[in-house]
Amino acid sequence: MSSITFEKVEKNFGEINVIPPFDLEIFDEELVVFVGPSGCGKSTLLRIICGLETISAGDLYIGDRRVNDLSPSQRDIAMVFQDYALYPHMTVRQNMTFALEIQGLGQKEINARVDRVANQLQIVPYLGRRPRALSGGQRQRVAMGRAMVREPRAFLFDEPLSNLDAKLRVDVRTEIKALSQSLRTTMVFVTHDQVEAMTLSDRIVVLNEGIIQQVGTPEEVYDTPANAFVAGFMGSPSMNMFGVRREGDDLRLQDGTTIASDGRIARAVATTGATDLILGVRPEHLSVCSSEDADVAVDILVVEPLGSDTLCSFELGNKRCIARMDPELRPKTGDRLPLRINRKRAHLFEANDAGRCLTSSTGG
């Protein structure tokens, strides 16, 4: 069993508290992604798991074993680093056998493991090469191979795709996902890329300033964000956020546009006494409709065709917004389009620092 459990784990660097008391259980064989902006503490948490950072307070368990005082070498955890951290003076094979030799495994067992993993990752032709003679993608595979031959209790990935070009990143992402399904080992993946988080994870942990904002499946985090931070961070392009003022059941944008409330939004409004709120609408939840059904009419400022969709930018409520449209519509810059907000998928947030989502708890 290789679950990973944080119990009130804290990390201070001198006087600065970078991780306030942190509680989380990562289940056995689960792939959990820590996602958040730079400096949110996600890499620090990963380094705490593998023992490269000490814990200032609290307890960390790997399986049933408390590992606070164990060195990295005693934790039986493998890590894939952002820059791969391959040993440049060793061949690919030596990179992969290094940890096994330290473990004291027999040569036969070492060779069997290396050959099996090298075949699995298709790096057999490179086993005799040094890392400098490999491309970025090949190095990435070797780094994963080095971790896999150890057959560790858990794998940690520290933004391992960030040094790859866009196409390779997608390919390797798919490979990691496939690996996680076949290896059935606990994996913790750190990224600032919410697409990686969504595509890879069984569960996502969204972090900001060392504090968990939400833990959930990709669908939960995307569809029912706990607060405005999660809603804004997850999704590309980001969720459109409008400052709105409550007027009865309706919501009025800063430019005076009134958005008629329906049952769900109205129920959410009813849960708070606040007048100022934030209306969050994902780009795909704004759709072109007839003028009679429209909530707003907008002037398209920029059109970005992606092939599968077309992104259209416009201004609404004094804010730059984006709508994701069917490319068949062929919108053009300068067009005036009537748009309707999908109220079943829109969110209402408190307009304070916490930004609590009022619609998540009121159901669809």
Partner 1 sequence: MNEVWIRRINGLQLFIVGIIILIPIYWMVGSSFKPPADVTAYPPKFIFEPTLANYHDLFSTTPFFRYLLNSIIVAGGSTLLGLALGMPAAFVVSWSRVNWPAVLVLAARMAPGMIFLLPWYMMFREVGLIGSHISMVLAYSVITLPIAIWVLLPFFDQVPRSILEAAQVDGCNTLRVLWRVAIPMVMPGIVVTTILCFVFSWNYFLFALILSNGETKTLIAASFNFIGEGATNWGTLMAAATMIALPPLVLAGLMQRWLVSGLVVGAVKG
Binding residues vs partner 1 (CB under 8 A)? 50-52, 71-73, 77-79, 81-83, 85-89, 98-99, 102-103, 146, 150
Kindly state the tokens that stand for 105: 């495994």
In the complex, minimum distance from the CB of residue 123 to partner 1, in angstroms, rounded to a whole number: 17
Tell me, rounded to whole angstroms, the distance of Cα 159 from its chain centroid: 10
In the complex, minimum distance from the CB of residue 316 to partner 1, in angstroms, rounded to a whole number: 45
What are all long-range contacts of 17-23, with beta carbons under 8 Å and residues at least 24 apart?
17/56, 17/210, 18/44, 18/210, 19/44, 19/45, 19/48, 19/210, 20/210, 20/211, 21/57, 21/58, 22/58, 22/210, 22/212
320 strand-pairing partners: 315
Which CB atom, from 128 or from 364, has the smaller least distance to partner 1? 128
In the complex, minimum distance from the CB of residue 159 to partner 1, in angstroms, rounded to a whole number: 11
In the complex, minimum distance from the CB of residue 185 to partner 1, in angstroms, rounded to a whole number: 15
Angle at CA 99, nearest 5°, toward 96 and 100?
A: 85
* Helix boundaries (H) for 37-123: 42-50, 92-103, 107-121
In the complex, minimum distance from the CB of residue 303 to partner 1, in angstroms, rounded to a whole number: 42
In the complex, minimum distance from the CB of residue 5 to partner 1, in angstroms, rounded to a whole number: 20
In the complex, minimum distance from the CB of residue 43 to partner 1, in angstroms, rounded to a whole number: 11
Kindly state the tokens that stand for 46: 């990963």
Side chain identity at 4, as an amino acid letter? I
Burial level of 316, CB count in 10 A (0-12/13-18/19+)? buried
Which CB atom, from 78 or from 118, has the smaller least distance to partner 1? 78
Side chain identity at 342, as an amino acid letter? N
Q: Three-state DSSP class for 181?
A: helix
Which CB atom, from 49 or from 341, has the smaller least distance to partner 1? 49
Which CB atom, from 33 or from 86, has the smaller least distance to partner 1? 86
Which CB atom, from 16 or from 306, has the smaller least distance to partner 1? 16
Which CB atom, from 88 or from 307, has the smaller least distance to partner 1? 88
Which CB atom, from 58 or from 72, has the smaller least distance to partner 1? 72
Ramachandran area for residue 166 (φ above 0: left; ψ -120 to 50: alpha; else beta): alpha
